[in-house]
């Protein structure tokens, strides 16, 4: 049987991964990487951090085994370290929603009033029936990295001027990054304000991919 020192070392090693979650900046970086691999400069811009600060947090996530990195010429591209890391982040996020009232209140304050939502199974049924059009309102580079099969890419900032591209005789379902992403909420409000029947998908792209539903995946070049 091992010694107490060895057992302590074991749990200290596991705690390294837990400590990596103890930063709101690192959690946001994980949320961004759940959508698409990115360079440190891209992550810094998306999270409103300095490049130096984002780099420090990425080093901590890499040391904890949550993030991998690949050199591409003079740049390094970061990605989640597999589906295990993604599942762990989603589990933490969902547990916080279920168990912490403060998270639910903060999400409500950030997202605003709830909008009509649709579940995965109903969406699949309606897509097969051809009576709904699915719109991915995330940034184009996230769509290119992976998206739900059949979804149209219309980033939220382009939606108003591209409304005419959406069939007038079909309802619209918008989806984005997940429950803490405001893009789908904004899209539904905009569409409804323009007289369109619209709902948001109750989950985001990462959850859909993990559920092994039909998907089109292309790694960002």
Q: Which residues are identified as catalytic? A: 176
Handedness of CA 44, 49, 50, 55 (dihedral sign): negative
What ranges in 34-180 are assigned the alpha helix state H? Answer: 40-46, 51-63, 82-99, 101-111, 120-129, 140-145
Instruction: Judge contact between 156 and 186, C-beta under 8 A.
Output: yes
**Contact (CB, 8 A) for 202 and 192:** no
Q: Which residues contact 98 (CB under 8 A, 6 or more apart)?
A: none
Angle at alpha carbon of residue 120, lines to 118 and 121, rounded to 5°: 105
């Amino acid at each position: 049987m091992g010694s107490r020192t060895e057992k302590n070392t074991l749990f200290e090693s596991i705690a390294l991964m837990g400590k990596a979650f103890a930063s709101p900046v690192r959690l946001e970086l994980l949320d961004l990487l759940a959508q698409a691999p990115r360079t440190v400069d891209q992550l810094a811009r998306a999270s409103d951090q300095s490049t130096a600060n984002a780099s420090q947090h990425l080093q901590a996530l890499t040391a904890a085994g949550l993030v991998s990195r690949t050199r591409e010429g003079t740049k390094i591209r970061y990605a989640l370290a597999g589906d295990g890391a993604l599942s762990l982040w989603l589990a933490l996020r969902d547990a916080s929603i279920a168990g912490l009232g403060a998270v639910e209140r903060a999400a409500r304050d950030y997202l605003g009033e709830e909008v009509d939502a649709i579940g995965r199974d109903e969406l699949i049924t309606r897509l097969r029936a051809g009576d709904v059009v699915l719109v991915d309102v995330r940034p184009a580079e996230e769509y290119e990295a992976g998206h739900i099969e059949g979804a149209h890419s219309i980033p939220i900032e382009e939606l108003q001027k591209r409304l005419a591209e959406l069939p007038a005789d079909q309802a619209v379902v918008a989806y984005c990054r997940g429950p803490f992403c405001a893009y789908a909420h904004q899209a539904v409000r905009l569409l409804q304000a323009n007289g369109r029947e619209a709902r948001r998908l109750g989950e985001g792209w990462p959850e859909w991919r993990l559920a092994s539903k039909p998907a089109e995946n292309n790694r960002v070049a």
